[in-house]
Chains A and B, each alone.
Chain A
């Protein structure tokens, strides 16, 4: 039990967090240069998923990809560290029952911990996403034609494609070029049928899939005469709800924290400031 407690305290040590973050920053710096000089080695992660990528591109280009493996290791340790550290402090917070009587103050005190737990949810979401999501790139849809979603009974039909070509004067470089794309889709399986309008940054959802517009043609009225089509990404990502809820929770916690530090703290008098920062004062005197 003592050993367990020792390991628990070690893994939850705030100084470990310090070292981890410094190492991660150094690792990400290396990653910056690697990604800049070898982007083609990392691009396949976007659709392959991490496991397949690691077995192919990752394994065979270790000099360029090692930093990513290290990053994942550091993130895993940070996950454990954050969980233990935050749980220890939250436990202490709940034990101090005096806080419960000042509910707003209690929530403010809880805000950093909300952020920490939200971060853990986000990391879990990314883990689920990179291990189990399915991405199908380059699904070409022609007007009035259908395609089958791979490994499913779902069918996508492109009912109508409308491309708006810019005719104004303000955006001179866009003259006669596509400025808006709207693709009317009908998606169906044995149980249901839905219609949706697909556009850039306006995906269509058909649980558990999301359909995103990647490319289209023709992009301009003049120039190369291209066949009309759209290119869609079909994605099945079970991690999406986790990392987005994590982001939402983190933002909530951050707003509370910022409000406390930026608004409330300004109201504290000089004496209160000295009282609260007693530790800091002592170290400066030394």
Chain B
């Protein structure tokens, strides 16, 4: 059920992208919402079958959902921006489908609200950072008037601030969980701790860019794009596993 509903979500996302490319924005919006519902069901079932614990590496299945939710507002944007957004959601969903890493069983040390907040806020933050990168990319591509460019830059900054807020709270919740469970806010075992720190530092830097003399408003979108690439490479991809063809695609099941 979990895998099938996620696959259904991925198909809806794909159809939504197709609808956007074909110029049927209204239909694309409906298909996106259907995809989000299926995705929501899938992640809800994941939670239902493991709560109050939490298995490792579930992030890739949650990410397209939050990315989609936060992108709905952008429906009013032009077709090009909207199809870029849907392309990214599709990429995230299909990668999660073909490279799952959810074969570990949940363990009892996850039984605390802080572990759940650490996980959920972390995924939400990643979605915002990736969205900021996408908005920044669109900013760079278009040669808009000064006012529109400033407006777009502000949207990028807003996404970064939301992402930074959630990332910081996620890191802090993780530190509290680590302290309660193991007596220290930082446990030197999981390499993800280094990339989590690096992401936090990167976006702290981003929020200071307006104070740096050699970085002007024109360059700031590039930092957001680099940040999004970093987040995908070091905060999302490590949660992925080996290539695994979903059962439904296996021909021998039908022979």
Contacts and interface: CB of A to CB of B under 8 A. Distances in A.
B183 interface: yes
A25 B191 contact: no
A273 B105 CA distance: 51
A77 interface: no
Nearest to A177: B108
B172 A28 contact: no
B165 A280 contact: no
Contact of A135 (B154, B162, B183, B198): B183
Given A251-B169, A262-B161, A283 B218 contact: yes
Contact of B188 (A25, A46, A171, A257): A46
Contacts of A170: 48-49
Interface stretch (A2-10, A13-21, A98-106, A143-151): A13-21
Contacts of B179: 240, 244
Contacts of A133: 184
Contacts of B165: 254-255, 258
Interface in A260-282: 261-262, 265, 270, 273-274, 277, 280-281
Please classify the interface of chain B as helix (H, G, I), strand (E, B), loop, or mixed, using the class held by over half of its residues: helix
Chain B interface residue number, banded: 35 or more
A28 B198 contact: yes
Contact of B194 (A31, A179, A200): A31
A284 B146 contact: yes
A25 B175 CA distance: 20
Q: Looking at chain A's contact residues, is the secondary structure mostly helix, strand, loop, or mixed?
A: helix
Interface stretch (B23-31, B87-95, B202-210): B202-210
Contacts of B161: 257-258, 261-262
A133 to B, nearest CB: 8
Nearest to A53: B188
Contact of A201 (B109, B146, B208): B109
A200 B217 contact: no
B21 interface: no
B246 interface: no
B183 A235 contact: yes
A65 to B, nearest CB: 11
B181 interface: yes
24 contacts: A17-B205, A31-B191, A32-B191, A32-B192, A35-B191, A39-B191, A42-B189, A43-B189, A46-B184, A46-B187, A126-B185, A201-B114, A201-B115, A212-B183, A237-B183, A247-B176, A251-B169, A254-B168, A273-B154, A274-B150, A277-B217, A283-B218, A284-B146, A284-B218
Given A31-B191, A200-B109, 14 more contacts: A21-B205, A31-B194, A35-B193, A42-B188, A171-B53, A212-B183, A237-B184, A251-B172, A255-B165, A261-B161, A262-B161, A270-B147, A280-B150, A284-B218
Closest 3 CB pairs of A and B: A235-B183, A201-B112, A35-B191
